[in-house]
Structure 1
Amino acid sequence: MDAFFASVEQLDNPELRGKPVAVGGTSDRSVVSAASYEVRKFGVRSAMSVVKARQLCPDIILVPGRMKRYKEISRMAMGVLAEFSPTIEQASVDEAYLDGTGLERLFGPIDAVCHRIKTRMEEVTGLTCSVGAAPVRFLAKIASDMDKPNGVYIIRHEQIHDFLQALPVKKIPGVGKKLLEILHRLGVQTCGDILQRDREYWQERLGKYGGALHDRARGIDPNLVTPSEQAKSCSAENTFHEDTTDRVVLKKWLLAQSERVGEDLRRHGYKGRTVTLKVKYADFKQITRSRSLDGRTDNTTRIFETACDLLQKLELRRAVRLIGVGVSNFTARTRQVNLFEEEPHAVEATSELDKAVDAVRQKFGGKAVARAELIEFKKSPNNSDK
């Protein structure tokens, strides 16, 4: 989807259309979550600080995010893709892979398929999207960024070699900043440069990543489109308006976040074994600490107590600007246990208290019931949700 969050805001509020809109907080400590194409012309990008965004575009219009609405539109978009193929893998809230094998017999040449998807997407969601098509997965992703917004880019089999020869290596999905620095030191700028040396050369220097990198430079990708991939983690975090070392305040944030994470786990039927604490200091240095439990859980109190224990072990020599908690290492509640399969980790029963709170909130709304220690705390404006 094109500039998804910002485009949804412009869709729902016609007064924002054609204007430099960004989704994010309004305080100087906030960051831009998404930027419309109108504001991108000024150099504003997602993850940029609001202060810098305002410097680049004084007329920028900042609107708060509405994740519930974005997820609603996302479900509509995925429904459109399901009209064309049963094999769809959702990669994020606004991006998905679709296996187009055999679609020509139903919808015509691949060019026609791409344009029919785009037309149908705009009819259903009211938004535009960009489509990339290629014989392999990673090239399709690269192609989807080649003609944005509202474009189509197709890499055919016979075009792969020439396309990759001039492609900057940083365009390959998975090539991050550190790997890019190594490649630049080795004189590599394009995929064509990678092929100047054999696969063994790259394996010696980069291990298994070297072999995969060489494969990508040749247009090889063994990864298939895998439908219904299970979520890997669930987390919540908050950035503060004022940095703090007050452990009482930090623990209250962890409690509020543990409630959000626990409720989300229970709603989707997951239990996790690993609890992770995330802390970002005032100097932007970030650390994480994790602990694996004896059993998988969706219990709010268990998540909170584990996060607090992890926090207690930190010295906090500097003020904290962000704190968060997450749960990973999932198993689905509906999972069928094989009696002949070793099951080393138990699955905790869902707390009766959590069940009762979830039921009340589902019936009467999220604010119908709250923990006593969070009532006054949640009224404070001194926070920024993420």
Structure 2
Amino acid sequence: MSTDQDHVIWHVRCRPDTTADGHRRVLDLLGDFTPVVQPLPPLAALAQLRGAGRLFQAAPGRLAARFRIQALAKHGVDTHIGIADTWATAATASAHPGTSGILHLPGHRAVEQFLAPLPVRALHGIGPAQAARLEAFGLHTIGALAAMDETVVCRVLGGKAGRTLRDRARGIDPRAITARRMPESTSAFHAFDRDVYDPVLVRAALLDLVTTLGQRIRGRDQIARKLTLAVRFADGSTTERTRALPQPSAHTDDLRVTLFRILDSMAFQRARIRRLLVTVEDLRPAGEGPGTQISLDPAREDRLSLEPVLDRINTRYGRRLAGPAGAYRKAS
């Protein structure tokens, strides 16, 4: 068995219609093939297959095919897999796997032949504005970017970004794969375009943030145990306060109640506020939380029953389309 398998990286993409539970099952299945799995929410993952080929007595492409079959047969999740020696190249390959759903690039020559003719916008990690700048200078393919002098690319895109993207176009990406669980905290912020002291505007901005965070952690099939509010004032000073939720939850209504209690406890009165940062912390898999309980509050039960519908609408059409009316009042 070839020793080049010691450096094989898989970039696994789930279909866009995969649920959060399906993604988590794919991560669990990857753990049967290698202990080095890095989740990339919402629907992707990286895996370092160090020595897995020798363990399973299978070449990288055949082993990936085995994984795809198991993911589809056991969990009903279709995946596309890019296989290469670096993160960026594997991620670019997984977006162009062909009819087999797997693209293996076993060496520098294969990487060069694959990347060179692709449009520069297909390079993993490049932004639309960066791609447009390169195209304006006549660099329309990844091969053209790879061949261009580094000094020129750095002038077009800036030093660090230029060097990073040119390296990735040449199949170079030093980032290591880090085994970890799904993220244990996540944040969202709102910066006002002027200093405000109107409590209605502040609460509207906070409701927008907590709606975004609730949808995000529900999409990851997680629940939060704590919530932190950090506030920056007009003079540049900041203050923050953390409160545990009465019980772990991902429901927007539960997060909102706790967040507004934190806000009320701060007693800002007419303080001028410049920026709000909300962090949901101590995230855990939803299965570790308490079961769903009936609250005997018809209004609350109606809101909870609507959450999955609103999440699907916002995922498909944009997160501000549906949600609590107060969340979408202009907070500026």
- TM-score bin, normalised by smaller chain: 0.5 to 0.7
Query: Which amino acid in 2 is paired with 1:73?
Result: G
Partner in structure 2 of residue 368 of structure 1 = 295
Instruction: Give the superposition deviation at 1:102.
Output: 1.2
User: How many angstroms apart in 2 are the aligned matches of 1:164 and 1:379?
Assistant: 47
Partner in structure 1 of residue 186 of structure 2 = 233
Partner in structure 1 of residue 104 of structure 2 = 154
Could you tell me whether the CA contact under 8 Å between 1:262 and 1:298 is conserved in 2?
no
Is 2:162 the counterpart of 1:185? Answer: no
Question: Which residue of the other structure, out of 255, 265, 278, is the alignment partner of 1:327?
Answer: 278
- CA gap 1:253/1:176 in 2 versus in 1, 3 angstroms: closer
- CA gap 1:117/1:376 in 2 versus in 1, 3 angstroms: closer
Could you tell me whether the CA contact under 8 Å between 2:80 and 2:102 is conserved in 1?
yes
Give the percent of matched residue pairs that are identical in Structure 1 and Structure 2.
Answer: 20
Instruction: Give the superposition deviation at 1:197.
Output: 2.7
Query: Which amino acid in 1 is paired with 2:155?
Result: E
User: How many angstroms apart in 1 are the aligned matches of 2:304 and 2:179?
Assistant: 41
| 1:195 match: secondary structure | helix
Question: Which residue of the other structure, out of 40, 50, 71, is the alignment partner of 2:20?
Answer: 71
- CA gap 1:248/1:2 in 2 versus in 1, 3 angstroms: same
User: How many angstroms apart in 1 are the aligned matches of 2:166 and 2:105?
Assistant: 19
User: How many angstroms apart in 2 are the aligned matches of 1:163 and 1:128?
Assistant: 23
Partner in structure 2 of residue 117 of structure 1 = 67
Q: Unmatched 5+ residue regions in structure 1?
A: 9-69, 237-246, 277-290, 315-324, 335-360
Partner in structure 2 of residue 384 of structure 1 = 322
User: How many angstroms apart in 1 are the aligned matches of 2:83 and 2:305?
Assistant: 48
Partner in structure 1 of residue 152 of structure 2 = 201
| 1:215 match: secondary structure | helix
| 2:290 match: secondary structure | helix
TM-score, with structure 2 as normaliser: 0.62
Q: Unmatched 5+ residue regions in structure 2?
A: 1-12, 190-198, 246-254, 311-320, 325-332
What pairs with 1:1-386 in structure 2 (closer than 5 Å)?
Answer: 1-5=13-17, 70-107=19-56, 108-147=58-97, 151-157=101-107, 158-205=109-156, 206-228=158-180, 230-231=183-184, 233-234=186-187, 251=203, 258=210, 267-269=223-225, 271-272=227-228, 274=230, 293-298=239-244, 300=255, 303-304=259-260, 327-328=278-279, 332=282, 362=290, 365=293, 367-368=294-295, 378=303, 384-385=322-323
Q: Which has the higher contact order (CA 8 A, sep 6+)?
A: 2
Instruction: Give the superposition deviation at 1:112.
Output: 1.3
Instruction: Give the superposition deviation at 1:100.
Output: 1.2
**Bigger mean CA deviation after superposition, 156-165 or 227-236:** 227-236
Could you tell me whether the CA contact under 8 Å between 2:116 and 2:143 is conserved in 1?
yes
User: How many angstroms apart in 2 are the aligned matches of 1:151 and 1:126?
Assistant: 15
- CA gap 1:111/1:182 in 2 versus in 1, 3 angstroms: same
| 1:127 match: secondary structure | coil
TM-score, with structure 1 as normaliser: 0.54
Query: Which amino acid in 2 is paired with 1:78?
Result: L
Partner in structure 1 of residue 195 of structure 2 = none
Instruction: Give the superposition deviation at 1:89.
Output: 0.7
Instruction: Give the superposition deviation at 1:272.
Output: 4.2
Query: Which amino acid in 2 is paired with 1:384?
Result: A
User: How many angstroms apart in 2 are the aligned matches of 1:376 and 1:72?
Assistant: 23
User: How many angstroms apart in 1 are the aligned matches of 2:292 and 2:97?
Assistant: 46
Partner in structure 1 of residue 9 of structure 2 = none
Aligned-pair RMSD on alpha carbons? 4.6
The one-character-per-residue Cα deviations of 1:297-351 (angstroms, maximum 9, x if unpaired) are: 55655633659x8xx989xxxxxxxxxx9734x77599xxxxxxxxxxxxxxxxx
Question: How many corresponding residue pairs?
Answer: 259
The one-character-per-residue Cα deviations of 1:190-249 (angstroms, maximum 9, x if unpaired) are: 12212343223322341210110111121110111112163552569xxxxxxxxxx979
